[in-house]
Amino acid sequence: MKSRYIVFLLFILLNSLMCAQIEKYKYKREILNINETWHRLELPDNMFGNLEDNLADIRIYGITPYKDTVEAPYFLKENVPQTSVKKIRFKTINKSHDKNGYYYTFELKEGVSVNEIELDFTRKNFDWQVRLEGSSDSKEWFTILDDYRIVSIVNDFTDFQFNKLSFSSSKYKYLRLFIPATKNPRLSSAALVQSSTLDGEGKKYPVKNFYVTENKKYKTTEIEVDFDDPVRAGKVTINIKSDFDYYRRVSIKLIQDSIETETGWVYRYGKLLIGTLNSLATNDFNFKSTTLKKMLVSIENNDNEPLDIESIEVTGYKHELNVRFAREATYYLFYGNKMALLPKYDIVRFQDQIPARLTALNLGDEERMFDRKNIPPSAIFNKFWLWGVMVVVIVLLAWFSLKMLNGKHSSDDG
User: Residue 166 is part of a domain; what is its CATH number?
Assistant: 2.60.120.260
**Taking a C-beta distance cutoff of 8 angstroms, is the pair 289, 78 a contact?**
yes
Residue 18 placed within a domain: no
Domain-embedded: residue 323: no
> What is the rounded average pLDDT of the residues 348-357?
91
- Residue 5 falls within a domain, yes or no? no
Please enumerate in sequence order all residues whose Cβ is within 8 A of that of 140, keeping only pairs 6 or more positions apart, or say none: none
397 found inside a domain: no
- Higher model confidence: residue 263 or residue 47? 47
Phi-psi region of 182 (alpha: psi -120 to 50; beta: other; left: phi over 0): alpha
CB 175 within 8 A of CB 106: yes
Confidence of residue 390 (pLDDT cuts 50, 70, 90): low
Report yes or no: 195 and 116 within 8 Å, Cβ to Cβ: yes
**What integer pLDDT is reported at residue 393 of this predicted model?**
58
Which of 175, 198, 221 is at the close of a domain?
198
- Is position 49 within any domain? yes
Q: What is the pLDDT of residues 177-223, one digit of tens each?
A: 999 999 999 999 999 999 998 888 999 999 999 999 999 999 999 99
> What's the pLDDT score for residue 401?
62
Q: Distance (Å, rounded) from C-alpha 264 to C-alpha 58?
A: 35
In this structure, of 32-46, 162-176, 228-242, 364-378, the range with the lowest mean pLDDT score is 364-378
The answer to whether 354 touches 73, Cβ cutoff 8 Å, is: no
Do 89 and 139 have their domain in common? yes
Same domain, 192 and 111: yes
Question: pLDDT band for position 23 (50/70/90)?
Answer: confident
Higher pLDDT, 203 or 19: 203
> Does the structure show a pLDDT above 60 at 11?
no
- The answer on 187 and 123 residing in a single domain is yes
Alpha carbons 85 and 269: distance in angstroms, whole number: 35
**Is the pLDDT confidence value at 127 over 60?**
yes
Domain of residue 172, residue span = 83-198
Q: Is 267 or 166 the better-scoring residue by pLDDT?
A: 166
- Please tell me the pTM assigned to this model: 0.79
* pLDDT band, residue 380 (cuts 50/70/90): very low
Whether 260 has a pLDDT exceeding 80, the answer reads: no
Please give the Cα distance from 273 to 147 (Å, whole number): 32
Same domain for 89 and 160, yes or no, is yes
Question: Is the pLDDT reported for residue 62 higher than 70?
Answer: yes
Considering the domain architecture, whether residues 172 and 222 belong to the same structural domain is answered as no
- The CA–CA distances, whole Å, from 215 to 220, 278, 298, 385 equal 5, 20, 10, 60
* % of the chain at pLDDT higher than 70: 84
Does the pLDDT value for residue 414 go beyond 80? no
Contact 210, 312 (CB under 8 A): yes
pLDDT score of 61: 96
The per-residue pLDDT for range 64-85, each reduced to its tens digit, is 998 889 999 999 999 999 999 9
Q: Is the pLDDT of residue 101 over 80?
A: yes
β-partners of residue 88 are 192
Residue 391 belongs to a domain: no
Q: Are residues 225 and 147 in the same domain?
A: no
Average pLDDT, rounded, for the chain: 87
How many structural domains does the chain have?
3
User: Can you give the three-state secondary structure of the chain, one letter per residue?
Assistant: CHHHHHHHHHHHHHHHHHHHHHCCCCEEEEEECCCCCEEEEECCHHHHHHCCCCCCCCEEEEECCCCCEEECCEEEEECCCEEEEEEECCEEEEEEECCCCEEEEEECCCCCCEEEEEEEECCCCEEEEEEEEEECCCCCCEEEEEEEEEEEEECCCCEEEECEEEEEEECCCEEEEEECCCCCCCEEEEEEEEEEEECCCEEEECCCEEEEEEECCCCEEEEEEEEEEEEEEEEEEEEECCCCCCEEEEEEEEEEEEEEECCEEEEEEEEEEEEEEECCCCCEEEEEEEEEEEEEEEEECCCCCCCCEEEEEEEEECEEEEEECCCCCEEEEEECCCCCCCCCCHHHHHHHHCCCCCEECEECCCEECCCHHHCCHHHCCCHHHHHHHHHHHHHHHHHHHHHHHHHHHHHHHC
Within this chain, do residues 88 and 141 fall inside the same structural domain, yes or no? yes
∠ Cα 17 18 24 (to 5°):
95
Do residue 292 and residue 279 come from a single domain?
yes
Q: Which amino acid is at 73?
A: P
Residue 65: alpha-carbon gap to chain centroid: 38
**What is the band of 375 on the pLDDT scale with cuts at 50, 70, 90?**
very low
Which whole number is the average pLDDT over 233-257?
Answer: 92
Of 142, 172, 198, which marks where a domain is finished?
198
Last residue of a domain, one of 145, 171, 198: 198
Average pLDDT over residues 279-308: 94
Which pLDDT score, from 0 to 100, does residue 200 have?
87
Q: Quick one: average pLDDT of 127-135?
A: 97
Structural domain contains residue 271: yes
72 and 112, same domain (yes or no): no
Nearest to 79, CA basis, from 195, 198, 205 = 198
Examine residue 386 and state whether it is found in any structural domain, yes or no: no
**Per DSSP, what are the bridge partners of residue 84?**
196
With 80 as the cut, is the pLDDT of residue 16 above it?
no
How confident is the model over 144-168, as a mean pLDDT?
92
Average pLDDT value for residue range 109-128 = 95
> Which residue, 309, 228, 168, is CA-closest to 45?
228
CA 60 – CA 248 distance, rounded (Å) = 46
User: For 236-265, what is the mean pLDDT?
Assistant: 88
What per-residue confidence (pLDDT) applies to 383? 47
Give yes or no: residues 287 and 353 share one domain.
no
Same domain? For 234 and 303 the reply is yes
pLDDT above 90 (res 7): no
Mean pLDDT, residues 132-143: 96
Across the range 267-296, mean pLDDT stands at 92
On whether both 40 and 145 belong to a single domain, the answer is: no
Q: Span 288-315, mean pLDDT? A: 94
- In this prediction, residue 32 carries a pLDDT of 96
